[in-house]
Amino acid sequence: MRWMVVAATAAAAVWCGAGLAGVYKCTNPETGAVTFSQTPCPGESERIEVRSASAPDQSRPTIEALAEICVKEGSFKDPASVELVEIGTMGAEVITYASHRIVAHRLPIKVNARNGYGGYVGAEWYHCYLSRATSKVFMVVSAE
C-alpha cells in the first residue's frame, strides 16, 4: 500500500512539473510592456514553446593534442621539422607571466628539433606551460 502512495505522489509531481514548464508572453494593455511568466497572465497572454538549449561542448583536448599545440607554438627554429618523441605527465606550477603570478599546467615534452644549421641535435626535454582554462600556450622552455 505504501508503494502506491509513493508512486502516486511521484506521478503527481511529474505531471504538475510538466504543467508549470510553459512560458507565457504577457502584454500589458495599458503600457504595451511585454513580460514573461510561468503562469497564464490575467487578460491577454500567449503561450510560447521554449526548447532547452544544448550544453556547450565541455570536452578537453587530449594530452597528445596539447603536446602538438606546444610543438607548433614553441620557439623552435623549424617548427615543421620538430619530432615529438615522448610526452611526460602533466602537472601544475606557479609561473610568472605578463608580470603576474599564475597557476599553469606544465606538460613535459621530449622533442627532436633541428638547430640553426639544419641538423637534428638529439631529443631534449622541454616544459610547455599552458592555460588551465583555454589550453593557450604561455611559454615553452628547455627543461635542462
pLDDT in tens, 57-74: 567 788 999 999 999 998
Q: What is the mean pLDDT of residues 110-127?
A: 90
pTM of the model: 0.57
The band of 30, judged by pLDDT with boundaries at 50, 70 and 90, is confident
Work out the widest C-alpha separation in the chain, in whole angstroms. 86
Judge whether residue 6 has pLDDT over 70. no
| Residue 119 DSSP class | -
Q: What is the mean pLDDT of residues 23-44?
A: 82
Q: How far, in Å, CA of 77 to CA of 91, rounded?
A: 27
Query: From the CA atom positions of the chain, what is the Rg in Å?
Result: 29
Q: How far, in Å, CA of 63 to CA of 43, rounded?
A: 59
Nearest partner of 67 among 130, 133, 142, judged by Cα: 130
